[in-house]
Structure 1
Amino acid sequence: MRARYGVPLGITAVGAAGLLYSAGFEARSFRLRRVTVPVLPPGMHPLRVLQVSDIHMVGGQRKKQRWLRSLAGLRPDFVINTGDNLSDPEGVPEVIDALGPLMEFPGAYVFGSNDYYGPRPRNPARYLFEKTQGRHGLNGNAPVVGAVHNPWEGLRDAFDDAGWLNLTNTRGTLKLDGTRIALTGLDDPHIKRDRYAQVTGGPDPDADLSLGVVHAPYLRALDAFTADGYPLILAGHTHGGQLCIPFYGALVTNCDLDTDRVKGLSTHQSGGRTSHLHVSAGCGANRYTPFRFACPPEATLLTLTPPTP
């Protein structure tokens, strides 16, 4: 009798312990990643950029709110928010409160699908199967008919009032003590709202640095930015794979980007050119799948420097 039931019970116990760890500890174990990117012209002073992404705020996430507020102590030169701030229609005031200290700094933002629409319950096993089999919207998804509308307009108004640039299929410029940073952004490719034709033309020739910004790092967006000559592209969306295998890595990216570049700094090539690509693993998760394993939540402080001689 012990032999018959011992193994299944043991597997069940291990699985339950894994869920408790991934949802109760690792999903709340916030980290700051530091990355140096050699993209500035020679002679320029380094710039410090804080990227926050995929907050997926749910009401009552006090630890996440305190951690986000504490990031203002880094005193970045500017902030880039790469979207998916919400996972709860009631979460707008808490996002604004959590990001309030960061909104004292210059910044810019794009939105993701979860800013526009509320999440739906999904079977995580089915999700992993569809993604690893190359199915289910790897080229993006149209919004689901009847999807719950999130009050993203309140976020937009708060960010705009703080002076952050709205990069929804448009361009903008930050001026920092005589330094001109040109930013080109896309709406979320994951729900096919990106319109690169509206921003095509390449980097601003009068800027000291030009960046591409997008929520989901679909290859069509990365190809376009890179072929146009942007030296750095910032994105989020992937959650770093969210449920990873230790010493192996991510199983999925939730888009058509390969798993080797699911998070952190890498490069992208298109049109005979090469761009640096930074994909944030983000600091949250869908409210219906609040798990992280071997992939702690994060924000990233990118130090932009001239190339080393």
Structure 2
Amino acid sequence: MALLPILRRTAGLGVAAGLGLTAYAAREARQYTLREETVPLLPPGHDPLRVLHISDIHLAPDQRAKREWLSGLAACEPDLVIDTGDNLAHARSVPLLAEALGGLLDVPGAYVLGSNDYWAPTMRNPLAYLLPDTGIRHTSQGQLPWPEMKRHFDESGWIDLTNGFGELTVRGTRIAFAGVDDPHLEYDDLDRVAGPADASADVRLAVTHAPYLRVLDQFARDGYDAIIAGHTHGGQVCLPRLGGRGGRALTTNCDLETARARGLHRHPAASAPGDPGTSWLHVSAGLGTNPYVRLRVACRPEATLLTLVPRV
């Protein structure tokens, strides 16, 4: 008979621990963070460029704190904005997104779209993404108003890099861009952007929503100095590390290895700056989650200010 009280206490402790973890994960998903990285890829003698990388906002109308934080990013005074997609989570989000981006839309920019710009999110098991990819894509909930969002971006002068090229001169530095549509949905058309990057440009940047290896490999081979991507959410549910400096990702929701789920790396992974056919790779952990399950563990939502400086 003494076993029953022990089982009850154990069950109670389990429930309390679960509730505590859920409360932490819900709070973590709202701890918006600006991360900074320095990338040495400009030609000698060029002034540094401040590039704001935003990704995976997954904006819903009730997310006032996220909108306010986004509005504050204009104070960083970036020289260039790169948006790697998955901006939307609701059909009514476009005007709110445009308002939140505010002054950033007055800054030179470039963008690609992600699956959650095109298709409305669905309610599903939040841990299912830890399992092997089934190849099933959730496109049954109807389209989001991505043409309206695209219109805001285009009218602001941002360059649409959907399976295409673009060019901007920012503070005297000429940047050649290439980008693809979302590889997670297999919308990418690598043939359309194949070929050597523009050797006459000062900097060559490639942009993709999801950092699938087939995309990274081609852009690196073609001579792009850096590849900018999102999609992974940094793993979203990570194993905590000592010191609280972010966690170890368990998945990337693509074929990129978990060690490069977020942050600044090289591609291929073992390469060094100056190696032929290699690039810098920056993957953003993004700012949002599925709106039905707003949880993150040891992986705070983020935007990144990349300072491009001359090569040594």
Task: Name the residue aligned to 1:239.
Answer: 233
Matches within 5 A, 1:131-170: 134-137=132-135, 144=139, 146-170=140-164
In structure 2, the partner of 1:257 is: 256
Structure 2 matches for 1:9-158, cutoff 5 A?
9-23=12-26, 25-128=27-130, 130=131, 134-137=132-135, 144=139, 146-158=140-152
Mapped partners of 2:128, 2:235: distance in 1: 15
Aligned to 1:10, what secondary structure does the other structure show? helix
Contact 2:54 2:303 in 1 (8 A): yes
Which stretch of the first structure deviates more once superposed, 241-250 or 184-193? 241-250
- Residue number in structure 2 paired with 1:210: 204
Deviation at 1:272, TM superposition (A): 5.5
Cα distance between partner residues in 1 of 2:5 and 2:127 = 29
Q: Which residue of 2 aligns with 1:287?
A: 291
Instruction: Give yes or no for the alignment of 1:224 onto 2:224.
Output: no
Q: Distance in 2 between matches of 1:126 and 1:171?
A: 35
Q: Comparing 246-255 with 158-167, which one deviates more in the overlay?
A: 246-255
Instruction: In structure 1, list runs of 5 or more residues that go unmatched.
Output: none
The one-character-per-residue Cα deviations of 1:28-72 (angstroms, maximum 9, x if unpaired) are 111000000111112211111000000000112111111111000
Letter paired with 2:11: P
Q: Do 2:211 and 2:230's aligned partners in 1 also have CA atoms closer than 8 Å?
A: yes
Aligned-residue offset at 1:178:
2.7
Letter in 2 for 1:193: Y
Higher mean alpha-carbon deviation, 185-194 vs 9-18, is at 9-18
Deviates more, 1:229-238 or 1:201-210: 201-210
CA distance in 2, matches of 1:220, 1:244: 25
Equivalent position SS for 2:42: coil
Q: What is the aligned residue count?
A: 299
Aligned partner of 2:308 among 300, 304, 308:
304
Q: How far did residue 85 of structure 1 move?
A: 0.2
RMSD, matched Cα: 1.5
Tell me the distance in 1 between the aligned counterparts of 2:16 and 2:237: 18
Q: Distance in 2 between matches of 1:202 and 1:69?
A: 37
Of 178, 193, 202 in structure 2, the residue corresponding to residue 199 of structure 1 is 193
Any conservation in 1 of the 2:262–2:284 contact (CA below 8 Å)? yes
1:177 pairs, out of 171, 184, 198, with: 171
With the length of structure 2 as denominator, give the TM-score of the two structures. Answer: 0.92
Structure 1 contact 143–191 (Cα < 8 Å) conserved: no
In 1, Cα distance between the equivalents of 2:88 and 2:248?
26
SS of equivalent to 1:39: strand
**Superposition deviation, residue 199 in structure 1:** 1.2
Q: How many Å apart are 1:22 and its aligned residue?
A: 1.1
Name the amino acid aligned to 1:8.
Answer: A
Deviates more, 1:244-253 or 1:294-303: 244-253
Q: Distance in 1 between matches of 2:108 and 2:128?
A: 41
Contact 1:49 1:79 in 2 (8 A): yes
Tell whether the 8 Å contact from 1:171 to 1:199 is kept in structure 2 after alignment.
Answer: yes
Q: TM-score, normalised by structure 1?
A: 0.93
Q: Which moved more, 1:213-222 or 1:284-293?
A: 284-293
Amino acid at match of 1:182: A
Q: Which amino acid aligns with 1:76?
A: P
Q: Percent of pairs identical after alignment? A: 51
Partner of 1:160, secondary structure, is helix
Stretch moving more, 103-112 or 86-95: 86-95
* Structure 2, unpaired ranges of 5+: 242-246
Task: Please give the alpha-carbon distance, in whole angstroms, between the structure 1 residues aligned to 2:83 and 2:31.
Answer: 20
